[in-house]
């Protein structure tokens, strides 16, 4: 199955399905044969799990460069090391990169591709559920000690090859993390879809077919919004639903100590509370989402390890904050996102409510 993505800069396809890596090689044969070198950038963990599958199904000669797992690869050092490798291997403007991994490898590889010799083509081969989001849309970045994703570029891939084969090895923590972005895509697009999550007894109970259907829907939501607004001038801000407070939690708890998705799930609760107050979301809806999030094992205790002052300080220096005003993605109705200016005291009231729920164990 293909989902087309058309932005002002580029048009490309997201290919989805089980065991599609080999077919992709056939479909893109003419393009890939023109390249002087194909280089797969991946992380240690993904490569140890999937080297054999890739060697069996990727039908062209390739080189591989292995970076550290997870967020540790989004450093200046890693970025520099990949560039050094490409230069040492005599890569040129005719070389092509492949990001094989989760969002971290995708973000790093995309940024390397955007800047090596002023830009070379790259393909995303996402291996996590979360990367159904990060691999689509062309945001690439590395981190700076002063902030996450601070150095980057909008740079679209040539295609995204989402081979479900890779998902089989994902640990439950990563399924939970990725599912949060899927739930976000549901909340900002389709209230009936959200109801499907309310019926889930646990993460383990999710059937593979259901998960794949949700991933496809999530990609469609993301692709549609990116098409409307590639460079985050307007509609793309909707994708930040849950991220203002979520990013503050992620940064305060510490990257690597909480997954991105878990932080986003936590961040969606204050965003929903604000949507009840400022939009037409039914009173009590947030509590329902909070309950299902607990049932699915999202750990809200992290909030109690952060002071509101820490979170507020982070929200104020977020790159989405302008002149000290918080531009919050909210829901007018479930499935209907809006962006509103919200005062810090309104956020604080939601933070207090959330802490109360966590302490009372509702």
Ligand X SMILES: NC(=O)c1ccc[n+]([C@@H]2O[C@H](COP(=O)([O-])OP(=O)(O)OC[C@H]3O[C@@H](n4cnc5c(N)ncnc54)[C@H](O)[C@@H]3O)[C@@H](O)[C@H]2O)c1
Of the listed 33, 34, 118, 207, which one is catalytic? 118
CB of 93 to ligand X, least distance (A): 24
CB of 136 to ligand X, least distance (A): 8
Tokens of 156: 């679209």
240 part of the active site: yes
Q: How many Å apart are CA 303 and CA 261, to the nearest integer?
A: 14
CA atoms within 13 A on the CB side of 138: 27
Choices 21-29, 97-105, 265-273, 306-314 (CB under 6 A): range interacting with ligand X: 97-105
Count of all residues that appear for the chain in the document: 362
Nearer to ligand X, 47 or 197 (CB): 47
CA angle 317, 319, 322 (to 5 degrees): 80
CB of 153 to ligand X, least distance (A): 11
Of the listed 69, 243, 262, 302, which one is catalytic? 243
Q: How many Å apart are CA 152 and CA 160, to the nearest integer?
A: 19
- Encode 6-36: b = buried (16+ Cβ within 10 Å), e = exposed: ebeeeebbbbbbeebbeebeebbeeebeebe
Max CA-CA distance within the chain?
A: 62
CB of 218 to ligand X, least distance (A): 12
Nearer to ligand X, 62 or 154 (CB): 154
Q: How many Å apart are CA 176 and CA 128, to the nearest integer?
A: 11
Q: Is 148 annotated as a binding residue?
A: yes
Of the listed 44, 51, 196, 232, which one is catalytic? 232
Binding residues for Zn(2+): 181, 243, 260
Active site residues: 118, 139, 181, 222, 232, 236, 240, 243, 247, 260
Binding residues: 103-107, 127-128, 139, 148, 166-169, 181, 243, 260
List interacting residues with ligand X (CB under 6 A): 43, 45-46, 49, 69-71, 74, 101-105, 107, 127-128, 130-131, 133-134, 137, 139, 149, 166, 169-170, 174, 177, 260
């Amino acid at each position: 199955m293909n989902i087309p993505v058309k932005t002002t800069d580029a048009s490309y396809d997201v290919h989805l399905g089980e065991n599609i890596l080999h077919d992709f090689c056939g479909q893109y044969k003419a393009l890939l044969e023109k390249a002087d070198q194909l280089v797969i950038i991946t992380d240690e963990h993904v490569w140890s799990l999937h080297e054999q599958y890739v060697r069996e199904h990727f039908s062209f000669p390739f080189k591989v460069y292995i970076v550290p797992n997870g967020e540790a690869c989004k450093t200046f050092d890693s970025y520099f090391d990949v560039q050094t490798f490409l230069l040492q291997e005599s890569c040129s403007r005719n070389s092509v990169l492949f990001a094989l991994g989760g969002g971290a490898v995708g973000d790093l590889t995309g940024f390397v591709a955007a800047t090596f010799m002023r830009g070379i083509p790259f393909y995303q081969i996402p291996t996590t559920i979360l990367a159904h989001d990060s691999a689509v849309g062309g945001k690439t970045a590395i981190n700076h000690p002063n902030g996450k994703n601070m150095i980057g570029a909008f740079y679209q891939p040539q295609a995204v090859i989402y081979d479900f084969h890779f998902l089989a090895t994902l640990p439950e923590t990563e399924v939970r993390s990725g599912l949060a972005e899927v739930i976000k895509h549901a909340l900002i697009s389709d209230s009936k879809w959200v109801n499907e999550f309310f019926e889930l007894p646990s993460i383990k109970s999710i059937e593979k077919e259901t998960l794949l259907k949700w991933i496809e829907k999530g990609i469609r939501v993301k692709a549609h919004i990116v098409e409307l607004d590639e460079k985050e001038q307007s509609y793309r801000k909707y994708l930040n639903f849950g991220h203002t407070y979520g990013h503050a939690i992620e940064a305060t708890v510490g990257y690597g100590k909480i997954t991105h998705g878990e932080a986003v799930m936590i961040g969606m609760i204050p965003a929903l509370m604000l949507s009840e107050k400022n939009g037409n979301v039914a009173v009590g809806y947030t509590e329902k989402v909070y309950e299902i999030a607990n049932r699915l094992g999202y750990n809200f205790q992290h909030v109690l390890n952060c002071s509101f002052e820490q979170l507020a300080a982070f929200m104020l220096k977020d790159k989405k904050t302008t002149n000290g005003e918080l531009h919050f993605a909210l829901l007018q109705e479930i499935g209907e996102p809006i962006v509103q200016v919200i005062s810090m005291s309104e956020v604080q009231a939601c933070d207090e409510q959330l802490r109360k729920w966590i302490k009372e164990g509702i």
